[in-house]
Structure 1
Amino acid sequence: MLEHALLYDAQGQPLLSGKLNASREWAEVNAFCNRVYMPLAARPLVAGSDPNATLRTLSIGRIVLSRFCFGVPTKADDFDPSSGNIIVVNTMRGSVRHPLGDGVSIDTQPGDSYVVDCSRTDYWNVADGNDLQFNLTIPHALMEETSHRWYGFVPEDDLWTKRLVFGRGPSAWLSLLDYATRSVDARSEGIASPLIERRIEETLCLELLRGWAEQSGLNLETGARGAAPRYVREAERLMVEQAHEAPTVTDIAAQLGISTRSLSEGFRRFRGITPHDYLTARRLDGLRKALERAAPGETVSSVAAALGYVNLTAMTVSYRQRFGESPHQTLRSRPMSS
């Protein structure tokens, strides 16, 4: 599984022809790591040895896939937390040592999948030089969006600080990665359909979140939702029902008879986000549905105006961040009735 990942597409056509795919120069290898993962420090464990690195990378949405090895025994550390990235290391060959917790480390073997949120905890690894990794670089913000969209809350750092192995041997996770890489088309060095690309991005995040939470002992189906007080749940209901009316957080708080501050504190504690972020997301969800159902002749401006949007530039930026495409792309790709 993944033997041909980032080497060939499903039709057997070579990927990344003409790109930098290997290097024996530390400057090139370090530049690759800083660009694909985040700023970090890498040094050979045998003084003076040159790398024999594999450097292959493609993106699916906001997720960066990489086929990588240093080619010599190497330690990497000082991963920059300000990058805001999560790293998933899938060991394909050899072994890679990673930290777990309380001074304990683990050597991942072929088929093992390890995850660390470098924006929430420190990280290092030691590659044995015979290893080959298939890695994912995922923005922490993207995982938060996925959790909130599917489960209604954002886990706290009890989850994000867990460094762990969440898959071993043949697994549903590796099968999903295999499918994702087979979806890449050599002609475009990406996935031809933006819709399919967006769905694969979300499915990867969702499956990672599920496996990560399961190994951490977090039940996503109940999570913070069951513990949230009634006023938080009622606020969510009102925001969903009234999203098309463009209410403010102050309006919602007033309807519940509580202060805006109390509502904000409740969302922060039980949802891990602000009520403004929740309301913004629900309004964007409503806009997306309206664009997908728009009648012939309707424009983004007309649909957005009907939902109370005034600043179309700011709306477009937020929309692209949430859905990975512009409102105009959604409108153009909507199914047309016969």
Structure 2
Amino acid sequence: MLDRALLTDGQGRPIRQSGPTSSRDWDEVQAFCRKVYMPYRVRPGAPRLLPAATMRMAQIGRITLTRFSYGVPIHLDRFDPEAGNILVLNTLRGALRHQQDGTRTATTRAGDSFVVDCSRTDYWLDGDRDHLQLNLTIPHDAMAEIAMRWLGFVPDDRLWTRRLAFGGNGSRWQALLAYVVHALEASGRVRGAAPMARHLEELVCMDLLQIWAEGAGICLRDGARMAAPRHVREAEEIMTSEALDPPSMAEIAARIGVSVRTLSEGFRRFRGMTPREFLRARRLDGLRAALQGAGPGDSVTSVAADWGYVNLGALAQVYRDRFGETPARTLAAGRVGR
């Protein structure tokens, strides 16, 4: 089923895409790659070799799905960490050779996959002339947010710095990719924060987290959370219990006996986010609970004001990004359910 991914819809009709779907021009191909992956360096296998690229894409919430090949042998390196992206390279045809650990490499062929967090570790790969990929570009922040929502913590760099080959024909990951592709073909491109997009995004990220953690020897059930030092866990408890009227970061740091810098470094290392980002997520969680339990006379404006939100336009955007619906919809659903 993946052989035809992003080529035809559920009725077998060709899927249209704005912009070129193939190219023989290096600048055009690189512009596409910067858009869907990140800036990096590409070197063809021979001088003056022109690409014969396949360039197709679809959006699944915050995840970019691409059907891509250069059509020539290539070496890729210098992936930009500032882009903040995780790559999942799923080989449909041909082969890729990936940087793994130390001097070891891993080769993926049809049915195999490879994941690397380019925001946390360096990476290079070689592709043969016949390579064809169905790739996922996932923002690190999206993975961290979903981990926090479902697991209650963000794994530390033992996970994010691990480059991992996985999957294979008949694997659960291949089955999930087939489901995602089928959903795209059946309903057209999934965009934005629509319910189906959020559903697919969370399925992909949670399954990838489980597979990645298993490969890294990390127990997501309890091991990663306890790996965080005491001051990080104590700060989390303060920000969670006092999210309605939170103290400043300086006050939190003073209460647990560390500097603001130490607190920030602990969150970045063990939670993959800043303390302010953690607090922002807990406040949105609290607002959502308040909307779900609001009384007959309450409105989005009044509940949001209780939580200190005054710019409802900005709130609606970040709320939709996190929960896949508007605050008004949460309020209405809460009333229907009572």
Deviation at 1:186, TM superposition (A): 7.0
Aligned to 1:327: 327
Distance in 2, Cα, partners of 1:67 & 1:250: 44
Distance in 2, Cα, partners of 1:193 & 1:250: 31
Deviates more, 1:327-336 or 1:21-30: 327-336
| Structure 2 length-normalised TM | 0.85
Aligned to 1:108: 108
Secondary structure of the 1:190 match is coil
Deviation at 1:203, TM superposition (A): 1.5
Secondary structure of the 1:225 match is helix
Deviation at 1:57, TM superposition (A): 0.2
1:53 matched to 2:56:
no
Secondary structure of the 1:130 match is coil
What stretches of structure 2 of length at least 5 have no aligned partner? none
1:30 matched to 2:30:
yes
1:66 matched to 2:70:
no
Secondary structure of the 2:302 match is helix
Aligned ranges 1:1-338 → 2 under 5 Å = 1-17=1-17, 19-184=19-184, 188-190=188-190, 194-228=194-228, 233=233, 235-237=235-237, 239-243=239-243, 245-249=244-248, 253=252, 258-259=256-257, 261=259, 264=263, 267=267, 271-292=271-292, 299-323=299-323, 326-328=326-328, 330=330, 336-337=336-337
Contact map agreement 1:76 1:124 (CA 8 A) in 2: yes
Residues 32-59 of structure 1 show CA distances to partners (whole Å, capped at 9, x for unaligned) of: 1111111122232133332221110011
Deviation at 1:220, TM superposition (A): 1.4
| Structure 1 length-normalised TM | 0.85
Deviation at 1:152, TM superposition (A): 2.4
The change in CA–CA distance for 1:334 and 1:27 in structure 2 (over 3 A counts) is farther
The change in CA–CA distance for 1:42 and 1:258 in structure 2 (over 3 A counts) is closer
The change in CA–CA distance for 1:228 and 1:108 in structure 2 (over 3 A counts) is closer
What stretches of structure 1 of length at least 5 have no aligned partner? none
Contact map agreement 2:39 2:80 (CA 8 A) in 1: yes
Distance in 1, Cα, partners of 2:81 & 2:329: 33
The change in CA–CA distance for 1:74 and 1:330 in structure 2 (over 3 A counts) is farther
Identical residues among aligned pairs (%):
50
Secondary structure of the 1:183 match is helix
Contact map agreement 2:60 2:192 (CA 8 A) in 1: no
Distance in 2, Cα, partners of 1:289 & 1:12: 44
Deviation at 1:176, TM superposition (A): 1.0
Deviation at 1:326, TM superposition (A): 4.6
Distance in 1, Cα, partners of 2:88 & 2:268: 27
Deviates more, 1:95-104 or 1:10-19: 10-19
Contact map agreement 2:291 2:334 (CA 8 A) in 1: yes
Distance in 1, Cα, partners of 2:206 & 2:335: 26
Deviation at 1:27, TM superposition (A): 2.1
Deviation at 1:68, TM superposition (A): 0.6
Q: Which amino acid aligns with 1:246?
A: D
The change in CA–CA distance for 1:188 and 1:302 in structure 2 (over 3 A counts) is farther
Deviation at 1:14, TM superposition (A): 2.9
The change in CA–CA distance for 1:271 and 1:141 in structure 2 (over 3 A counts) is closer
Contact map agreement 2:155 2:270 (CA 8 A) in 1: no
Residues 258-291 of structure 1 show CA distances to partners (whole Å, capped at 9, x for unaligned) of: 3474893665665454443322211101223444
Contact map agreement 2:168 2:174 (CA 8 A) in 1: no
Secondary structure of the 2:304 match is helix
Contact map agreement 2:90 2:111 (CA 8 A) in 1: yes
Contact map agreement 2:87 2:116 (CA 8 A) in 1: yes
Secondary structure of the 2:226 match is coil
